[in-house]
Structure 1
Amino acid sequence: MDEMQLLRDFAGSAGLPAHEDLARKRAELLAAAARPRHRRALWGGVTAAGLAAAVAAVVVLAPAEEAVRPVPPAPPATDPVQILYTAAAKARALPDFVPRPDQFVYTRTRLADGRENETWASVDGTHDGLVFLYGHEASLAGCRDGKRVQQESHGRTVTNRCVPHPAAPADLPTDADAMLAHLLRSTHGEGDTVHDLGNEVVELAEGYLRPAVRAALYEAVAKVPGLVVHTGAKDATGRTVVGISWGSTTEHGIGNQNEFLFDPVTFAYVGAGTGVVVGQGIVDAVRQRP
């Protein structure tokens, strides 16, 4: 059968449209193409076959075997040196900020029973600070001209000789070996046992340290022998943390143990075994909070 003959029989004879009709229709077509169309109108022109083809195209571009799958959580790190060096790298990447000598380091810690302590410690150690400790308020006298004048109850004052103890020391090492040497010779501890070293480490870690100094502190701890990781440790608030402890046996056979607690995701230091740091910052005056 001749399909073209069937079409001619069905449509009959038809002449070509006039030239002016073609020009008018062409102008109407161009004007319609130039008009903005509503997004919904575009979907109205999609046929069922076209929509199926579009869906098929999506399936082809993203086959099931190549679909994005949830990334399983990384297994907890078990190498204490790796954890400490990761924490050091995270610390070193933090923004650096140099506090003024007349400012204060504000620190808020939380205990296991829910109580919180707050401290305003002088950046350079010469200005009077303040502490809220176990529900009681007490002043932290600064050391000026080698003297510390501490206010006692009933208006009584006590004067002692002193050296300033800055809350944000400006001259701490940024190298791991130099930091370890500093910890060992620190005047705040004997420096002859791991327990004393641990006290120095915790005291520094819970204060304000510039990024390079904090990184050096973690790398110095990584050099301490006998490190042990506790992946299921809990901090004072009950959160799961990564704990690093180390022990030593003194000449008297007494074991000493210290613990460093890190957030398992950010590797930020969160405290020691008895409390957790929940807030810290630099402020201009006592009783001010960041």
Structure 2
Amino acid sequence: MTGTDNGREAYAAERAELARLLPPAPGTDLPPGRHEHHRERLMNLIDDDTARAQGRTGADAQDRARERAGRPDRSRLLRPSFLAPATALAVAGALVLGYAAQNGGGPADTGDTRSVSQVLLRMSDAAGRSDALPIRDDQFLYTRGTGRDVDLTSGKAVIGPLEESESWYSQKPGPQKKLGLIRQGGHTLPINAELGDSEGTRPGLNRPTYRWLATLPTDPRQLLDYFDEITPKFEGEDRDQALFESIGGLVGHALLPPDTAAGLFEAVALIPGVTRTPDAVDALGRKGVGIARDDERSGVRTEWVFDPEDLSYLGWSSHLTRDTEYGKKGDFMGDSAVIETAVVDKAGVKPQS
């Protein structure tokens, strides 16, 4: 293998890792490929910054453009973009009452480690006492939500309007090529298997069925070790942030067995750098308690929002923690809010009121 090949492999790995660190879009199902388009624009800006810093030539930039051109256009794939990262999975569950976010402005003051640990232990206790019923293999997880997208095509973060959507996620065991349905803007589309899963996507981080979640260890240390094994690794990443994001994809976006949910909250308390934000607000104006972690490499804070009374999950938000080419410190990077969640017997059918 040549030095050029090694360099391109390292570049591709770094780029993939940075793409994973960008704010996911859990909660609201936006049109297929839309968030991928924004991510691509942001990655281009990062590439330009890197090129200037390293003094790369115009020929190098052309090579990078050719590499991009050779990748499949994911906007043509009939699948919601939030399925790609392990941090943005199927929405709703026993603890999921809404998707939330902080409506712009600077980062909230964070609490100390003892404070966030106490809150997470209270969440664990509440989750363990949940009487949520399991979902059968032949049923679907239904979610109706709304959220705002952030457009990066201009080089700056531009907040879009609230958009409502519905989704149905299959709980079938084994690999599946059709994972469910998404409905938005009057269009209903299939949710296809993960990119590259030619035989179908198996239950796991990218497809957290209730049956798979019930097989996870419940001891918090064992859970954290297990997530360290199954969460993809990228050179130069903040591994603690990767675990926080990976677990967040389940805490916020899946129907969790009570024991699994309790263990996950306690596992989060073991991750360094996790803090409490007391004044989180969702897209619908609901105020809550935030559990957050800053990713120093990407300059993005990821925050989960919980109801201040019963500590049920309210949502997710993100904003910039430093000035960048596409925004200033504190700039809002998207939000969403779940309006309704339910278990239904058939995809495309709304739950009975």
Normalising to structure 2: TM-score of the pair? 0.50
Q: Partner of 2:337 in structure 1?
A: 276
Deviations 1:114-158 (A, max 9, x none): 322221111135364101256642202469xxx96xxxxxxxxxx
Equivalence for 2:183 = 132
Q: In structure 1, what is the equivalent of residue 82 of structure 2?
A: none
Structure number, greater radius of gyration: 1
Indicate whether 1:197 and 2:243 are aligned.
yes
The alignment partner of 2:162 has SS state of coil
| Counterpart check, 1:287 vs 2:348 | yes
In the alignment, is residue 216 of structure 1 matched against residue 263 of structure 2? yes
- The count of corresponding residues between Structure 1 and Structure 2 is 197
Per-residue Cα deviation, 1:25-80 (whole angstroms, up to 9, x for no partner):
xxxxxxxxxxxxxxxxxxxxxxxxxxxxxxxxxxxxxxxxxxxxxxxxxxxx9511
| SS of the residue 2:126 aligns to | helix
* 1:233 and 2:269 aligned: no
Structure 1 counterpart of 2:38: none
Once residues 182 and 135 of structure 1 are traced to their aligned partners in structure 2, the CA distance between those partners, rounded to angstroms, is: 41
Shift of 1:188: 5.7
Paired with 2:179 and 2:313, the residues of 1 have a C-alpha distance of: 27
Q: 1:178-237 CA deviation, whole Å, 9 max, x = no partner?
A: 221232222466585334223312321211111111111111111111122221111121
Q: What is the percentage of aligned positions where both structures have the same residue? A: 29
Q: CA deviation at 1:262?
A: 0.5
Q: Which residue of structure 2 aligns with residue 83 of structure 1?
A: 119
Shift of residue 241, structure 1, vs aligned partner: 0.9
Task: State whether residues 275 and 292 of structure 2, in contact with CA within 8 Å, keep that contact through their aligned partners in structure 1.
Answer: yes
Larger RCO (CA within 8 A; separation ≥ 6): 2
CA offset at residue 272 of structure 1? Answer: 0.7
Q: What is the CA–CA distance in structure 2 between the aligned matches of 1:235 and 1:93, rounded to whole Å? A: 25
Are the structure 2 counterparts of residues 178 and 135 from structure 1 closer, same or farther at C-alpha, using a change threshold of 3 Å?
Answer: farther
TM-aligned CA distance change 1:99 to 1:133, over 3 Å = same
For the Cα contact (< 8 Å) 1:195–1:258, is it kept in 2? no
Write the mapping of 1:54-65 to structure 2, written as runs, cut at 5 A.
Answer: none
Question: 1:110 and 1:228 mapped to 2: Cα distance?
Answer: 27
Alignment CA distance shift 1:80-1:133 (3 Å): farther
Instruction: Give, as a single letter, the amino acid of the residue that structure 2 aligns with 1:269.
Output: Y
Equivalent pair of 1:193/1:248 in contact (CA under 8 Å): no
1:120 maps to 168
Matched letter for residue 186 of structure 1:
I
**Unmatched runs of 5 consecutive residues or more in structure 1:** 1-76, 149-159
Is the contact between residue 231 and residue 242 of structure 2 (CA under 8 Å) also seen in structure 1? no
Task: Give the 3-state SS of the residue equivalent to 2:343 in structure 1.
Answer: strand
Q: Gaps spanning 5+ residues in structure 2: where? A: 1-109, 149-160, 318-334
Corresponding residue of 1:249: 296
The equivalent of 1:6 in structure 2 is none
Task: Report the counterpart of residue 264 of structure 1 in structure 2.
Answer: 308
Q: Residues of 1 paired with 2:304 and 2:279: CA distance? A: 13
TM-score, normalising length from structure 1?
0.60
Relative to structure 1, is the Cα distance of residues 130 and 257 closer, same or farther in structure 2, using a 3 angstrom cutoff? same
